[in-house]
Structure 1
Amino acid sequence: MDSKKTPDKKNCEEGVTRRTFTKRALQVGLAAGAATTGLSAAVSGSANEFHDVYDYVIVGSGAGGGPLAANLARAGFSVLVLEAGANDSSDDTHNIPAWHPFASEDRKLSWDFFVKHYADLNQQKLDSKYVAGKGILYPRAATIGGCTTHHALITVYPHNNDFDRIAESTGDSSWESWNMRRYFQRIERCEYVSRPIFSNPSRHGFDGWLPTNRGNPALLLEDPTILKIVKASLAKYGLEGAIEQIIKGKLNLDINHWDVASGQEGPFITPMAADSRSRRSGVREHLLDTQAIYPSLLHIRTNALATRVLFEGNTAVGVEFLDGASLYKADPYYDEGGSAGTLRQVRANREVILSGGAFNSPQLLKLSGVGPAHELRDHGIDPIVDLPGVGENLQDRYEVGVVSEMTEDLALLKDCTWGEEGDPCLNRYRYGWLNKGPYSGNGPVLSLVKRSKPDLEDPDLFIFGVPSDFHGYFPGYSEALRNYKDRFSWIVLKGHTNNTAGRVTLRSSDPRDTPDINFHYFGEGNDTSGDDLQAVIEGVKISRDIMSGPVVSERVSREVLPGAGVQSNQQIGDFVKNQSWGHHASCSNKMGPASDPMAVVDSKFRVHGTNNLRVVDASVFPRIPGFFIVVPVYMISEKASDDIIATATSQSV
């Protein structure tokens, strides 16, 4: 399939804007009203009232469920979103881009999963992040907006091939990359590129619900050390003299330009999901804004832990849930001896949609009797549909940190006290002094996109530099921001990983229990070529080369990780195997045709063997797309909106 296929301008631009979608959706919703039971019109009152029946019940309010719920409500359907977490926006400072590590460890927002990278416990214990008796911390969020309330805001478009392969494997041309781009245009409100007057070759969106901006490169002038690191990085691409253009905003380093999706390499200033005031903005804001406009159609029930999908035969008719706070064992406030919650049910007149993510959606399917029959019977669950692929094919990206200690504190951060009384950096941010300062950015000062070897179809390495000590997730990891102002880290991310051997299996039939999650890294996985490991090794070498070159080395005191004793390919490989982590779990309910025995959903997100049940989240990708998962999930949420509304009206939208 030709990844560069381009339709004519009319087809490319038709329907891409939020205004066009809303107009169409409202027309469809109004038309649908005459054919339904009249439920949408009957649901009235404030958003704090709840009913026994809705058109759609969506489990999860994050990147998959949130935009979908907003679109369905705007189309005139009644929607209930079940969110297991509380409606707690927490301290307002968590909207500060640079403070996302604090948000991810906020006990009021977080669900702390502990996962296995290896079944071999001895190998697992070689990871410095290992917590005895638990595993490796994998932060998730439980609140309105899900993980989009604490993620690092990095907003990067995937590669065209990621979608073209889905179109090819499913036979569904609507997944072709030229068509999928319109969903990105529909969600994006790009604020760092001028709105085009005539043609739009970048294919950015300018009217969507997701504001995208870039950090102010002029801040580089405040830190001579970081400036040297950026210059040395640009030299790798023959752009030694480009730093002045970057600072003036005149160098086009746009990773989300349509041309880049075809596989371009280069240095980029990474976009982030923040508004013009440099505040986090995303699904939570979009959902709550929609609820304020349509209070009788969109209801969000928090502290509602879904326990199973209700079936009549093979048809999903509703959801059973526990009503109560902190009922899931990943919640830091879970109390073993506390309230067990109140068991309730809600019916779906049209469909049930699961958007719990790569861990919780397969868990909920299995608890509901949909999954590998032998596993369900082992836990006393009667199978409704034997789907062996549920919970299989779990994938992630590999990341490692190359951490250097500099000869002195970084000038950009030396005065920052990270929220202590009188914090000059916080005052600068709040009052807009001098470009709002370091807190206005989410961390990356420059990102490098490269192929680990020249014959790859798409770049597979995303290497980004942050002025901090970051080498993965472990309890208390965010304190490194406060403790180390003399550290700089290159984070090596290996995209398009080959390993598909991860699994999500039930630990028990108790819906409050977390599933058993094992990614089966490297030698335990099915990447027989070993390319994943070799790619990360190459990324470590690239990062080291920048820091050891003549421009930067005089400002480096020592390499903290991997450390001076790690030099050979074998040693670097051992470091990577021991210390890698990931935080983009996906693919555990993979999409594919019914002829694929391991496929869980079809190309319209419908669960095989069932009626009126879909999954819309990161778990449905057959292969992990691009470099960062959130944008592709936003896009499929928008696509699912079209598919679901089309089903509701038995016509295409």
Structure 2
Amino acid sequence: MSSQDVFDYVIVGGGSAGATLAARLSEDPTTSVCLLEAGGNGDHLLIRAPAGVVGILPGYGHISNWAYRTTPQPGLNGRRGYQPRGRCLGGSSAINAMLYIRGHRADYDGWAELGCEGWSWEECLPYFRRSENNQHGADEVHGGDGPLQVSDQASPRPISRAFVAAARECQHREVADFNAGDNEGVGLYQVTQFHDRAHRGERCSAAAAYLEPIRAGRPNLTVLTRAHATRIEIEDGRATGVALRHARRDRRVRARREVIVSGGAFNSPQLLMLSGIGPADELRRHGIRPVVDLPGVGRNLQDHLDFIQAWTTKDHDNFGIGAAAGLKLLAEVLKWRRDGTGMIATPFAEGAAFLKTLPELALPDVQLHFVISIVDDHARKLHMGHGYSCHVCTLRPHGRGEVFLESANPFAAPGIDPAYLSDPRDLATLIRGAKLVRRIMQAPAMRPYVGRELFGVHDDMTDAEWEHHIRARADTIYHPVGTCRMGHDPLAVVDPQLRVHGIDGLRVIDASVMPTLIGGNTNAPTIMIAERGADFIRAGAMRHAMAAE
């Protein structure tokens, strides 16, 4: 690569959205695409082996992980939250729990009602189907030949099935498919995991799905890793390229047609602001000349706040810490290498539930992740022996936070303030959800597994005691969105075709464009957004070509 190369499209960020866009836009052999990724290739064993995430998630050494921290959170007793985000090709799809969840149809219909025309459930569904290669094949809601392999869990543990049975005993319905538009109920998650013979049981990150199969055979696609974008270059109101640091040198890549920012809910607004696009007063405070005063850049941050309850167990068919557990783990590694099954293939969060904490609610307001290990502080605090955890998060939070610049240094972490529990309704929902979890855990089907309950949670706790526990231990379950949201109002950053207001040739395409947080995990929706965005870009290029004739 020379110090200044020219491509039709330059994509900043090789995560779930960026990998999808790079593959789709480069399908046209006459179109040149450059993908910039600040991290590495994302193909090492800790990523390919699903259980390897436990070595990445805590953030030690920042292995494929930005390992961000939030500002002190008043709602969490002044604690600073932890925000792991993927730093490699595949982004957070390379370090997540692989859970394939789309959300509820009402989430997308709500986007359309907010003025984001074209984003209703029925209009998004074809793009979910296009991306998906479901183990069960294609039907009216699922795809059978897309790049992203979606499978049933290879080896769910008996305790996870007991969790589902216990929820049924509490009168919650069992759901076979959480992704058909109505996700209320309990069951086992489907996962973004290879089900073909060659890679069965391995993680199917967005990079493994979209980039690895085509990267070597597409001369019109250039992928640069360890390439940190520092600024979008803008000339006469148009994005013309990207300045970056690559191989310890400052370089530029120019874009003939468009620059696409796909850095995610934290890095996308940061790059826009570093480039002079954002709240003018804040930019001036850091010595950055405003190019476009867009006050909504970085605002509207939404995330799922998560609270964990955990128990020890005498059951050893799960993850634990100790000599016997270590020997078992070695055997499981050999099993996974042989046929892609066993505990190394687990997403850890095997059991799923989307439930209403009040009967009069129209939609589920909490999500449960049943995990086959004791999880404490993002696996940064370890417990000897065996156990299990159940997470509950508030699905549609009312609180809104922000992402802001800590400095004008492009290599500094962005400021992140999720404003957790700033709206009292979110705390009330989480308390009801925590009580619901305990009812399920005390149902007959779970009794054979129950040992000692951890963290001081006990029977007959008052709401004040629940509040104390939640404020002391709750943190993210890794679903930040909304900081470059789409719409037409003064705080919208992009229009419904994901074009940045006030700048030509620039789009943001990733989870940051979501106007509201969907009721579920955000990886599958982000890939859908990128599939949709690729069509917007191609249609725009076609209109431009026709106008030029």
Q: Using structure 1 for the length normalisation, give the TM-score.
A: 0.77
* 1:431 counterpart residue number: 338
For 1:506, the aligned partner's letter is L
For 1:234, the aligned partner's letter is R
Q: How far 1:552 moved relative to its partner?
A: 3.2
Counterpart among 146, 149, 156 of residue 211 in structure 1:
149
Q: How far 1:578 moved relative to its partner?
A: 2.7
8 Å Cα contact 2:10-2:35 kept in structure 1: yes
Q: How far 1:210 moved relative to its partner?
A: 0.5
Q: How far 1:119 moved relative to its partner?
A: 5.0
Counterpart among 31, 39, 42 of residue 85 in structure 1:
39
Compared CA separation, residues 373 and 204, structure 1 to 2 (3 A): same
- String of CA shifts for 1:192-244, please: whole Å, max 9, x gaps: x2x36xxx34x110000001111246742xxxx655444322212367xxxxx
* 1:487 counterpart residue number: 387
Counterpart among 521, 527, 544 of residue 420 in structure 2:
521
* 1:233 counterpart residue number: 167
Cα RMSD of the aligned pairs, angstroms, is: 2.6
Alignment map for 1:9-20 (pairs within 5 Å): none
* 1:62 counterpart residue number: 15
**C-alpha distance in structure 2 between counterparts of 1:175 and 1:625, whole Å:** 13
* 1:627 counterpart residue number: 520
* 1:176 counterpart residue number: 120
Aligned residues: 536
* 2:479 counterpart residue number: 584
**C-alpha distance in structure 2 between counterparts of 1:387 and 1:585, whole Å:** 20
Compared CA separation, residues 304 and 535, structure 1 to 2 (3 A): same
For 1:348, the aligned partner's letter is A
* 2:281 counterpart residue number: 374
Query: SS of 2:229's equivalent?
Result: strand
Compared CA separation, residues 381 and 566, structure 1 to 2 (3 A): farther
**C-alpha distance in structure 1 between counterparts of 2:115 and 2:96, whole Å:** 31
**C-alpha distance in structure 2 between counterparts of 1:643 and 1:487, whole Å:** 48
Q: How far 1:94 moved relative to its partner?
A: 3.1
For 1:78, the aligned partner's letter is S
**C-alpha distance in structure 2 between counterparts of 1:367 and 1:322, whole Å:** 14
8 Å Cα contact 1:253-1:268 kept in structure 2: yes
Alignment map for 1:43-192 (pairs within 5 Å): 52-76=5-29, 77-87=31-41, 89-90=43-44, 92-104=45-57, 105=59, 107-116=62-71, 118-119=73-74, 123-125=77-79, 135-170=80-115, 172=117, 174-191=118-135
**C-alpha distance in structure 1 between counterparts of 2:282 and 2:435, whole Å:** 43
Q: How far 1:416 moved relative to its partner?
A: 8.8
> 1:289 aligned to 2:213?
yes
Q: How far 1:275 moved relative to its partner?
A: 0.8
Alignment map for 1:436-475 (pairs within 5 Å): 436-473=341-378
**C-alpha distance in structure 1 between counterparts of 2:202 and 2:216, whole Å:** 20
**C-alpha distance in structure 2 between counterparts of 1:496 and 1:66, whole Å:** 28
**C-alpha distance in structure 2 between counterparts of 1:142 and 1:422, whole Å:** 27
8 Å Cα contact 2:36-2:229 kept in structure 1: yes
Q: How far 1:268 moved relative to its partner?
A: 1.7
**C-alpha distance in structure 2 between counterparts of 1:561 and 1:431, whole Å:** 38
- String of CA shifts for 1:348-381, please: whole Å, max 9, x gaps: 0000010111111111111100111100111111
Compared CA separation, residues 405 and 108, structure 1 to 2 (3 A): closer
Query: SS of 1:255's equivalent?
Result: coil
**C-alpha distance in structure 2 between counterparts of 1:233 and 1:503, whole Å:** 36
For 1:508, the aligned partner's letter is S
Q: How far 1:471 moved relative to its partner?
A: 3.6
Q: How far 1:49 moved relative to its partner?
A: 8.1
8 Å Cα contact 2:82-2:475 kept in structure 1: no
Compared CA separation, residues 86 and 371, structure 1 to 2 (3 A): same
* 1:403 counterpart residue number: 310
For 1:534, the aligned partner's letter is A
Bigger radius of gyration among the two: 1
Compared CA separation, residues 205 and 88, structure 1 to 2 (3 A): closer
**C-alpha distance in structure 2 between counterparts of 1:456 and 1:110, whole Å:** 37
For 1:597, the aligned partner's letter is P
Q: How far 1:411 moved relative to its partner?
A: 3.1
Query: SS of 2:213's equivalent?
Result: helix
For 1:563, the aligned partner's letter is V
* 2:191 counterpart residue number: 272
* 1:511 counterpart residue number: 410
Q: How far 1:292 moved relative to its partner?
A: 1.9
Q: How far 1:413 moved relative to its partner?
A: 4.3
8 Å Cα contact 1:566-1:572 kept in structure 2: no
| Segment of structure 1 superposing worse, 299-308 or 418-427 | 418-427
**C-alpha distance in structure 2 between counterparts of 1:560 and 1:503, whole Å:** 33
**C-alpha distance in structure 2 between counterparts of 1:381 and 1:394, whole Å:** 23
Compared CA separation, residues 218 and 234, structure 1 to 2 (3 A): same
Query: SS of 1:403's equivalent?
Result: strand
**C-alpha distance in structure 2 between counterparts of 1:371 and 1:588, whole Å:** 11
**C-alpha distance in structure 1 between counterparts of 2:235 and 2:122, whole Å:** 39
- String of CA shifts for 1:165-207, please: whole Å, max 9, x gaps: 22222252x212112100010000000x2x36xxx34x11000
Compared CA separation, residues 438 and 111, structure 1 to 2 (3 A): same
**C-alpha distance in structure 2 between counterparts of 1:83 and 1:410, whole Å:** 40
Structure 1: which 5+ runs fail to align? 1-47, 126-134, 240-250, 325-340
Q: How far 1:89 moved relative to its partner?
A: 2.4
Q: How far 1:431 moved relative to its partner?
A: 1.7
* 1:19 counterpart residue number: none
Q: Using structure 2 for the length normalisation, give the TM-score.
A: 0.91
8 Å Cα contact 2:128-2:142 kept in structure 1: yes
* 1:541 counterpart residue number: 435
* 2:240 counterpart residue number: 317
- String of CA shifts for 1:508-542, please: whole Å, max 9, x gaps: 111111111111111xx3x3xx3321221122112
